[in-house]
């Protein structure tokens, strides 16, 4: 099927575009009243992920409202540990939790690597349904968590502030940690390849917690596994390159290492300046980001100024995909996203005049 808007894929390949493409991490979610309504009908969050038609519906909701250049599969990074048998559930207001945790070598040995096409078939059904409903409007992004980020939730049993248990394993039982990360890397590779076969046209690896590590620990326990995944991914499907985006939150000091993994693009949070990132790795990879999601709590004029500042920081020419530096907050006023997208549409063509 012909893609009607390929700005996002062109920018990932650092090819010329007419304006900077844009999507938002967590673009389908609770800041949208229409999301809250469908979520209420589905029951809990995981039921919504497993309900193919509703998962497709909420994926498309932000595209109905805003002129975004990509869709992202509605699902969660924690579907893999759930399929490994840990029992994922969400308690209102408390974030994700697991019934079982992974703390010992025996726990790691007992984990089975899911087979994505069988054990995560609901995700693949969502991907193919969304592709059909998108009908070539924009490309569809698939995603997974990084092994390290998934391990933090599995060892801690949910979200964490200090990463006490997972870092106890990292420093106290590094072999066990490596065994766990190795199982996760295989599972993530299989999962992303299944998404690509089902129709995902680009994939992003979310390394939300890589930035909590020391430099050597980041390289050994997060980056090397992402590199292993990138090497195992299907890079061409249906006659097109399938680009990979790596996003390590707070990973600004490791951009050179991240750009060496073979990824096509690096996601940036707002603590790294675009101009600095481009000077360091812009000859190798595209860059995605990096508006602080909290800017969306300011006035339309302030939003526009910040969008302009980031465009200017990246500068002229291709290779920039506009995004937030992390997921959009559930407390965002949907009208602020209009101000954001409108500003980008007005201001960005000037950076692509060649």
Annotated binding site for substrate: 26-30, 76, 153, 208, 326
| Region binding ligand CP3 by CB under 6 A among candidate stretches 73-81, 101-109, 262-270, 310-318 | 73-81
The yes or no reply on residue 202 touching ligand CP3 (CB under 6 A) is no
Report the sign of the C-alpha dihedral through residues 216, 234, 60, 22, in that order.
positive
76 catalytically annotated:
yes
**Of the candidates 11, 26, 3, which has an alpha carbon nearest to the alpha carbon of residue 328?**
26
CA dihedral (92, 94, 98, 104) in degrees, to 10, reads -170
The yes or no reply on residue 65 touching ligand CP3 (CB under 6 A) is no
**Of the candidates 339, 288, 284, 345, which has an alpha carbon nearest to the alpha carbon of residue 314?**
288
Helices (H) and strands (E) in the chain, counts: 17, 11
| Alpha-carbon separation of residue 331 from 31, 252, 306, 336 (angstroms) | 6, 27, 19, 11
The yes or no reply on residue 130 touching ligand CP3 (CB under 6 A) is no
| Region binding ligand CP3 by CB under 6 A among candidate stretches 6-14, 69-77, 216-224, 344-352 | 69-77
89 catalytically annotated:
no
**Least separation, in Å, of the C-beta of 144 and ligand CP3?**
9
122 catalytically annotated:
no
Among 29, 81, 142, 319, contact with ligand CP3 (rule: CB under 6 A): 29
**Of the candidates 277, 275, 270, which has an alpha carbon nearest to the alpha carbon of residue 326?**
270
x/- mask, ligand CP3, residues 302-331, rule CB under 6 A, reads: -------------------------x----
Helix (H) / strand (E) containing 206 = strand 202-207
The yes or no reply on residue 196 touching ligand CP3 (CB under 6 A) is no
**Least separation, in Å, of the C-beta of 28 and ligand CP3?**
4
179 touches 187 (CB < 8 A): no
Distance CA 144, CA 151 (A): 13
131 catalytically annotated:
no
Question: For the chain, what percentages of helix, strand and coil (3-state, to nearest 5) are there?
Answer: 55, 15, 35
Site residues for ligand CP3, 205-224, by CB under 6 A, read 206, 208
**Least separation, in Å, of the C-beta of 45 and ligand CP3?**
4
Just list the catalytic residues: 26, 30, 39, 76, 153
Which residues here bind ligand CP3, judged by CB under 6 A?
25-30, 39, 45, 72, 74-78, 95-96, 143, 159, 206, 208, 327
């Amino acid at each position: 099927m012909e893609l009607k808007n390929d700005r996002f894929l062109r920018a990932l390949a650092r090819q010329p575009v007419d304006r900077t493409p844009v999507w938002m991490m967590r673009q389908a979610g609770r800041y949208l009243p229409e999301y809250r309504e469908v979520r209420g009908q589905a029951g809990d969050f995981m039921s919504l992920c497993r309900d193919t038609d509703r998962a497709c519906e909420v994926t498309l909701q932000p595209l109905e409202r805003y002129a975004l250049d990509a869709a992202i599969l509605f699902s969660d990074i924690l579907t893999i540990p759930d399929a490994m048998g840990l029992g994922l559930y969400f308690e209102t207001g408390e974030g994700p939790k697991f019934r079982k945790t992974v703390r010992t070598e025996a726990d790691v040995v007992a984990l089975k690597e899911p087979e994505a096409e069988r054990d995560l078939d609901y995700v693949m059904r969502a991907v193919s349904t969304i592709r059909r409903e998108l009908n070539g409007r924009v490309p569809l992004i698939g995603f997974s968590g990084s092994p390290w980020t998934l391990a933090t939730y599995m060892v801690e049993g949910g979200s964490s502030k200090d990463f006490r248990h997972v870092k106890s394993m990292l420093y106290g039982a590094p072999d066990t940690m490596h065994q766990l990360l190795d199982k996760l890397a295989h599972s993530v590779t299989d999962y992303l390849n299944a998404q690509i076969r089902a129709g995902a046209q680009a994939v992003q690896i979310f390394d939300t917690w890589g930035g909590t590590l020391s430099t050597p620990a980041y390289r050994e326990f997060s980056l090397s596994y992402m590199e292993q995944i990138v090497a195992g991914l299907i890079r061409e499907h249906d006659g097109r390159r399938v680009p990979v985006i790596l996003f390590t939150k707070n990973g600004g000091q490791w951009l050179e290492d991240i750009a060496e993994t073979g990824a096509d693009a690096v996601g940036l949070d707002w603590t790294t300046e675009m101009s600095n990132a481009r000077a360091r790795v812009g000859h190798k990879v595209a860059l995605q980001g990096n508006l602080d999601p909290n800017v969306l709590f300011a006035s339309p004029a302030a939003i526009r100024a910040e969008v302009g500042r980031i465009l200017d920081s990246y500068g002229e020419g291709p290779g920039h995909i506009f995004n937030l530096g992390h997921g959009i907050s559930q407390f965002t006023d949907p009208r602020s996203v209009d101000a954001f997208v409108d500003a980008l549409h007005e201001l960005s063509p000037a950076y692509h005049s060649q």
